[in-house]
Amino acid sequence: MMNQEPLYEGKAKRLFKMENEDFLLVEYKDQATAFNAAKKESIKGKGKYNNEISSIIFTMLKDIGVDNHFIMQVSETEQIVTKTSIIPIEVVVRNVYAGSLAARLGKEEGTVIPKPIVEFYYKDDALGDPLINEDHIEILQLATKKELEEIREKALFVNNFLKDYFASCGIRLIDFKLEFGKNNENNIILADEISPDTCRLWDMDTNERLDKDVFRKDTGSLIGAYDKVLTRLKGEKTWL
């Protein structure tokens, strides 16, 4: 663990400055939060699972040409990333009705959506991350139309790849959230994390929940679920 004050501390991660100012050290914490941090718990080992799972996924995405902030994993709970200026939009891609969309549209959880839905949420804890559309994004000047189109295309590309990849590990990718940032060349690159904290992952055969819904709904062991995801990611190499 770094022996200095974090530059920023979020709900699940701490960011530390590095000697080279182009990079940041990210430490994944053991803290689990849900419902905009109304539910909070420290779960030993959680940071390690998310750091390892996100490192594997970002490495694969880099290998297939999706520019992202990941540089390298440096310890069980830490990774080095390129510093970006985060675009305050949470991009959610959904393949199957679940969570807030199932509730909003009155659909049964688990119903397949005929084509992926991309949603945008304004990344603002004080406002509870409200759902926004292209017009809101333009008016709030969060991104230009062109940038948003690029973000949408990248999100759908990541979805296509990850859906097939998880399927090869016996996991259904129900939905997930992405964040993008601008690097110092002003290019939009994928940032933040992709882990069972930010994805809904269901066992292909049993529909067992292998993601943070286990914690949100108190239905079992979060570590048990995350361990199954990591074990399957490490076991399969069919994307190569």
Count interface residues toward ligand C5P (CB under 6 A): 13
Q: Which residue's entry shows tokens 């882990």?
A: 195
d(CA 78, CA 97): 33
Q: Which of 16, 28, 176, 215: binder of ligand C5P (CB under 6 A)?
A: 176
Q: Are 153 and 143 in contact (CB under 8 A)?
A: no
Structure tokens belonging to residue 182: 């601008």
The residue from 29, 212, 214, 229 that contacts ligand C5P (CB under 6 A) is: 212
In angstroms, what is the minimal distance from the CB of 235 to ligand C5P? 23
For ligand C5P, which residue of 100, 111, 160, 219 counts as binding (CB under 6 A)? 100
Q: Among all residues, whose Cβ is closest to ligand C5P?
A: 99
- As to burial, measured by CB atoms within 10 angstroms (0-12 exposed, 13-18 middle, 19+ buried), residue 55 is buried
Question: For the window 118-157, what string marks contact with ligand C5P as x by the rule CB under 6 A?
Answer: -----------x----------------------------
Would you give the DSSP letter of residue 10?
Answer: -
Euclidean distance between CA atoms 212 and 175, whole angstroms: 12
Query: Per CB under 6 A, does 209 bind ligand C5P?
Result: no
Which one of 61, 198, 214, 225 is in contact with ligand C5P (CB under 6 A)? 198
| Contact string 63-92 vs ligand C5P (x = CB under 6 A) | ---------------------------x-x
CA-based end-to-end distance of the chain = 33
Instruction: Tell me which residue of 113, 9, 12 sits closest to 53, measured CA to CA.
Output: 12
Residue 23: enclosing H or E segment and its boundaries?
A: strand 23-28
**177 near ligand C5P (CB under 6 A):** yes
Question: Min. distance of Cβ 217 from ligand C5P in angstroms?
Answer: 12
DSSP 229: H
Contact set with ligand C5P (CB under 6 A): 90, 92, 99-101, 129, 175-177, 198-200, 212
